Structure 1
Amino acid sequence: MKWLLKSISYIFHPIIMPFLAVHFYFQKSPRFIPEQLIYAKQISLFILTAVLPIMVYFLLKTLGQTKSIHLKTAKERIFPLLVNSFIIGLILYRVFPLDHIPELYYFFMGILISNTTCLLLAILKFKASIHLIATGGVVMFFIAFAIHFSININGSLALMVLITGAVASSRLYLKAHTGKELIVGLIIGLTPQLMLLKYWL
């Protein structure tokens, strides 16, 4: 059981959730987008949201600034969250600018707000769950996507809710977070996406 729950934390790690959401968007969106553009956007996004953060993590581990990819202490989170803010800003500027795909622009704007909030809490020594921030943001994006395009994605949405529950259970079982830290993380993930709906829904 411990192996399974630990695996869930790795499989649905926050660094891959934005890519999964974008891949879902391109698969389900009724909007015509050239296949070559989709491929280029996804490759760029994967490099920025997955490959680059992993490289930063190994650099920090080599320098003795972090011990785990899960960033177990609030202090360990500060520099990675600063770097992530820069990466998200780059995504907004180069990969998904407002005049290209508004839905994804505002999705990443919500991620930036969530990331900044998590950073401020880390500076204040509060460790909100980044896993729940990531999954919560994706759940709200799925809901907004379904409403925006009037598409039935109940199966995908139900699966994402189950994943969120599994991730929360995993983090609790592994004693990585308290219930309060998980709830705060979920709120930080959901709220910015909800606030930005008026700009694209």
Structure 2
Amino acid sequence: MNVILRSISYVFHPLLMPLFGVIYYFLITPRDYPKDIVWAKLVSLSILTVVLPILLYFLLKTLGLVKSIYLKTTRERIYPLMLNSAVIIIVLQRIIPPTQVLELYYFFVGILISTMACLTLALFKFKASIHIIAVSGVFMFFIALSIHFSLNLNNTLAFMSVLIGAVATSRLHVKAHSLKELVMGLFIGLLPQLILIPYWL
């Protein structure tokens, strides 16, 4: 059980969740996007939202600005969150502008708001759970997609509900967060996506 709970934090890492959301969108959308465009966006997003943050982390570690990948202190979170915000802005400007895929554009606007909210809390010495922020944001996006496209995504939403609980349990098990930090992460992940729904639904 210990191995399973620890592995959940790695398999459903915050860096991977936006990419999962985009892949799922292209799998369920009734719109017909050219395959070469879809693959180009997925590759670009993989590089910008997964590979680049990992490389930036090693740069920050070399410079002594972070100590470990776990970012245990609020001080260690500041630079990674700032850089991640910059990466998301690049995604919004270059990879998914509003003129191409409106749903995904606002999905990443929500991610940017959540990231900046988490950064603001870190500046005030509060460590909200980035894992919960990521998974709950994707969960709310899937709910909106279900309504938007009039699709029955009950199985997916049920899985995401269980996943939020599993990730929360995992973070508590490894003593990475308190219950208050998990609850705050849940709200920071859900609310931006919820507030932005009227702009594209």
TM superposition score normalised by structure 2:
0.98
Deviations 1:29-88 (A, max 9, x none): 001100000000000000010000000111122222223222111000000000011000
Query: 4+ residue stretches of structure 1 with deviation over 4 A?
Result: none
Structure 1 residue aligned with 2:87: 87
Q: Which runs of 5+ in 1 are unaligned?
A: none
Give the distance between the partners of 1:26 and 1:67, measured in 2 at CA. Answer: 37
Kindly report which structure 2 residues correspond to 1:1-201, keeping only aligned pairs within 5 A, or say none: 1-201=1-201
Question: SS in structure 1 opposite 2:145?
Answer: helix
CA offset at residue 146 of structure 1?
0.3
Give the distance between the partners of 1:31 and 1:179, measured in 2 at CA. Answer: 40
Give the distance between the partners of 2:145 and 2:5, measured in 1 at CA. Answer: 29
Give the distance between the partners of 1:120 and 1:100, measured in 2 at CA. Answer: 30
Partner AA of 2:54 in structure 1: I
Give the distance between the partners of 1:161 and 1:193, measured in 2 at CA. Answer: 16
Give the distance between the partners of 2:85 and 2:63, measured in 1 at CA. Answer: 21
Partner AA of 2:133 in structure 1: I
The alignment covers a number of residue pairs equal to 201
Partner AA of 2:5 in structure 1: L
Question: SS in structure 2 opposite 1:93?
Answer: helix
Give the distance between the partners of 2:198 and 2:69, measured in 1 at CA. Answer: 35
Partner AA of 1:131 in structure 2: H
Deviations 1:140-176 (A, max 9, x none): 0000000000011111111111111111000001110
Partner AA of 1:90 in structure 2: I
Question: SS in structure 2 opposite 1:188?
Answer: helix
For the aligned residue pairs, the C-alpha RMSD in angstroms reads 0.8
Give the distance between the partners of 1:58 and 1:165, measured in 2 at CA. Answer: 30
Give the distance between the partners of 2:67 and 2:5, measured in 1 at CA. Answer: 20
Give the distance between the partners of 2:61 and 2:5, measured in 1 at CA. Answer: 24
Query: Matched residues, percent identical?
Result: 59
CA offset at residue 4 of structure 1?
1.4
Give the distance between the partners of 1:168 and 1:68, measured in 2 at CA. Answer: 21
Give the distance between the partners of 1:132 and 1:18, measured in 2 at CA. Answer: 13
